[in-house]
Amino acid sequence: MVSLQNSPTLHRTLFLNSFPQKHGASRSPRREGISFTVKAAHEPSASSAGFPSQDRPGRREVIAIGTTAPLVFLFSQNSSSFAAENKKGFLPVTDQKDGYTFIYPFGWQEVSIEGQDKVFKDVIEPLESVSVNIIPTGKQNIKEFGPPQQVGETLIKRVLAPPNQKTKIIEATEQDVDGKTYYRFEFIAQAPNYTRHALSTVSVSNGKFYTLTTGANERRWDKMKERLQTVIEFFQISNV
């Protein structure tokens, strides 16, 4: 399992120094694969239908959200959110407070990692995970940080992979979805004893810089890539 070597303060400083910012950031991203604590799953109850947006439901509660018809209204009523809720083999997650929705493969568990907004991973294959980070920004659009290749290289080298790993960006693309611009990256991070193949998508909205990253051990990439690409494609930001 990867260990995060630098402190949260250093991590934030490296990121903020990478791009010009109008305002300082109060939250910092953390790198993938650090030690984690698995959150206990709770049986769904009558109160789970209206849990506060800042609460993070257990696995069974998330399953209940995906299968109980009245709770459809927790999600944005557009076609993308509806498709995410019903994607076979995946479970949906919506954060109404911060304004984003994504899906993750069935069987992954939510874990708690300091500095991450949400993380789900396979506890057997810990490199198989998805994480969401949010950093305040004064920018209005991801394009203000530069083109996809430039932003991707900076994020991968300074934020998404430990400094002792060799990184290589494979592809950087731009997509416009529902009036919002997303950059997507495919990259490899090589450690002494393993290589992680990863995908990231980033966007700016609501005064926040959003980063979702998912990946797997290189040896399992062929098996996992379609599922991980689905995770990236279903990440959606809404206005809050």
Segment 62-86 mean pLDDT: 46
In a domain? residue 98 = yes
In a domain? residue 48 = yes
How high does pLDDT run on average in the chain?
Answer: 77
pLDDT at 233: 96
DSSP of 48-97, one letter per residue?
A: GGG--TTS---HHHHHHHHH-GGGGGGS-SSHHHHHHHT-TTEEEEEETT
pLDDT in tens, 85-98: 678 999 999 999 99
Range from 23-32, 44-53, 127-136 carrying the lowest mean pLDDT? 44-53
Segment 167-186 mean pLDDT: 96
Q: What is the domain extent for residue 132?
A: 8-237
The number of distinct structural domains making up the chain is 1
pLDDT at 87: 84
- Reported as a pLDDT band with limits 50, 70 and 90, residue 84 is low
pLDDT score of 226 more than 60: yes
CB 62 within 8 A of CB 80: no
pLDDT score of 135 more than 50: yes
In a domain? residue 2 = no
CA 157 to CA 171: how far, in whole Å? 15
Q: Identify the residue whose tokens are 């769904």.
A: 44
In a domain? residue 3 = no
In a domain? residue 129 = yes
In a domain? residue 139 = yes
CB 79 within 8 A of CB 91: no
In a domain? residue 106 = yes
In a domain? residue 185 = yes
At 153, which CATH number? 3.40.1000.10
Amino acid, single-letter form, for residue 65: I
**By 3-state DSSP, what share of the chain in percent is helix, strand and coil, each rounded to 5?**
30, 30, 40
pLDDT score of 38 more than 60: no
pLDDT score of 139 more than 60: yes
CA 111 to CA 177: how far, in whole Å? 29
